[in-house]
Amino acid sequence: MIALPDPARRLEDCPLVIFIAYSIGPHADADGYAEWLKRVDMPFFNAIPETRHYANWRLTEILVGPAPVWNWFDFQGLASEADLERVWFDPNLDAFRVEWIRLWGYGSPNPPPVLRHAYLTRPSGLRRAAAGARTLTLSGGTGDVPQDGSADIVFRIDGILHKHFAGRDESRPWLTPAADFNPLGLDWLAVGWGAPEPLPTAVFAARSMLVAAPDRD
């Protein structure tokens, strides 16, 4: 295993970030899901050589728009764009994902499309360091990405990753353009470290709490 925390494993340094939105059943808290993330999930993902930053977050308060069907999300930041396919189809990672589904599920036997896909994003513009922040405001919107500097990190959603380990239609490509099909319903995501107000153009925003990250305790 790798030595953590490692302050060099910062989200803001990743050229590509996979955004994973999900929900799990009400048993999660009683069964110690957050502790499992800290002890097992986060260290495992960050030990994958091509993964620079893998962190787990939980929504705590909806600020704008209706509550989504997902209430947890992960950022998987890659070391380089060339690593995407190698990471996505890593056989050890596939086995881990299948075990995660067995242990925790999606909160329902037939999860909606937003949970059966992941979202390939690219940072847009300047990026500010988290500086140890354990909370953030996550804003999301449609149309053009927000003006540079309006948030600490802005991600443009470029592609949709089809989860082959969760019953993907094998006749479809594993990665498709977000413009063709995007069950998340957002064109961009913006991170504001701490507890800033949502971006004014957001159609969704939520306060979120860090559960586990590689660059801080």
pLDDT of residue 21: 97
pLDDT of residue 26: 77
Cis peptide leading into residue 5 (ω within 30°): yes
Mean pLDDT of 61-75: 97
Average pLDDT, the chain: 92
Q: Note whether residue 3 is domain-resident.
A: no
Which residues lie below 8 Å from residue 179, measured CB to CB, with a gap of 6+?
A: none
Q: Note whether residue 2 is domain-resident.
A: no
Pick from 40-49, 93-102, 128-137, 155-164: least confident: 93-102
Q: Note whether residue 44 is domain-resident.
A: yes
pLDDT of residue 95: 86
Task: State residue 184 phi and psi, 5-degree precision.
Answer: -70, -30
Q: According to DSSP H, which parts of the chain are helical? A: 33-36, 42-46, 84-88, 91-104
Q: Note whether residue 217 is domain-resident.
A: no
Q: Note whether residue 200 is domain-resident.
A: yes
pLDDT of residue 29: 77
Q: Note whether residue 133 is domain-resident.
A: yes
Highest averaged pLDDT of the listed ranges 84-88, 93-97, 183-187: 183-187
Whether pLDDT at 71 is above 90: yes
Whether pLDDT at 100 is above 90: no
Q: Note whether residue 5 is domain-resident.
A: no
pLDDT of residue 160: 97
pLDDT of residue 59: 97
pTM for this prediction: 0.94
Q: Note whether residue 40 is domain-resident.
A: yes
CATH number at residue 84: 3.30.70.100
Share of the chain above pLDDT 90, in %: 78
pLDDT band at 184 (very low <50, low <70, confident <90, very high): very high
Total of domains in the chain = 1
Domain of residue 159: give its range.
11-212
Whether pLDDT at 171 is above 90: no
Which of 101, 100, 104 is CA-nearest to residue 26?
104
